[in-house]
């Protein structure tokens, strides 16, 4: 059965990809109706990017979804989303965010709760 643990494990797989590439081990998956529609991992170092955090890479890889799909989606991320990623989550009205850990970094989680 696909549940939060299953999808977080998928985000961890993405984080491992980043680590294997010499990057920062942060990963994310976007889920709609119980299916992964986007995957991403932190590619700041690999792509010499200023914005390719795991969440941003994941949202980008999902492509353009319908507004209704974003509203019923869940984003699983291995690390608390930063302000930039939280802004994208709010911009696309992603309904639910499941965070793996927030001791390494804590983003504006209260803003996401609102």
Confidence of residue 94 (pLDDT cuts 50, 70, 90): very high
Query: Looking at residue 48, what is its pLDDT?
Result: 96
Per-residue CA distances from 25 to 3, 32, 67, 70, 88 (Å): 22, 24, 29, 25, 20
Query: Looking at residue 43, what is its pLDDT?
Result: 97
Question: Do residues 15 and 9 lie in contact, with contact meaning Cβ atoms separated by under 8 Å?
Answer: no
pLDDT in tens, 4-27: 999 999 999 999 999 999 999 999
Give the predicted TM-score (pTM) of the model: 0.95
Query: Looking at residue 1, what is its pLDDT?
Result: 79
Given the residues 21, 35, 55, 109, select the one marked as catalytic: 55
Query: Looking at residue 102, what is its pLDDT?
Result: 94
**Distance of alpha carbon 66 from the chain centroid:** 18
pLDDT in tens, 35-61: 999 999 999 999 999 999 999 999 999
Query: Looking at residue 30, what is its pLDDT?
Result: 98
55 is catalytic: yes
Residue pointed to by tokens 């639910």: 96
Indicate whether 108 pLDDT > 90: yes
């Amino acid at each position: 059965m696909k549940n939060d643990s299953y999808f977080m494990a998928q985000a961890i797989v993405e984080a491992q990809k980043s680590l294997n590439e010499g990057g920062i081990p942060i990963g994310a998956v976007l889920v709609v109706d119980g299916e992964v529609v986007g995957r991403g991992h932190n590619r700041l170092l690999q792509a010499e990017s200023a914005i390719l955090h795991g969440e941003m890479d994941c949202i980008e890889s999902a492509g353009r979804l319908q507004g209704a799909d974003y509203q019923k989606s869940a984003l699983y991320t291995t690390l608390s989303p930063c302000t930039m990623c939280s802004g994208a989550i709010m911009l696309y009205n992603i309904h639910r965010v499941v965070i793996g850990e927030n001791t390494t970094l804590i983003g504006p989680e209260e803003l996401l709760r609102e």
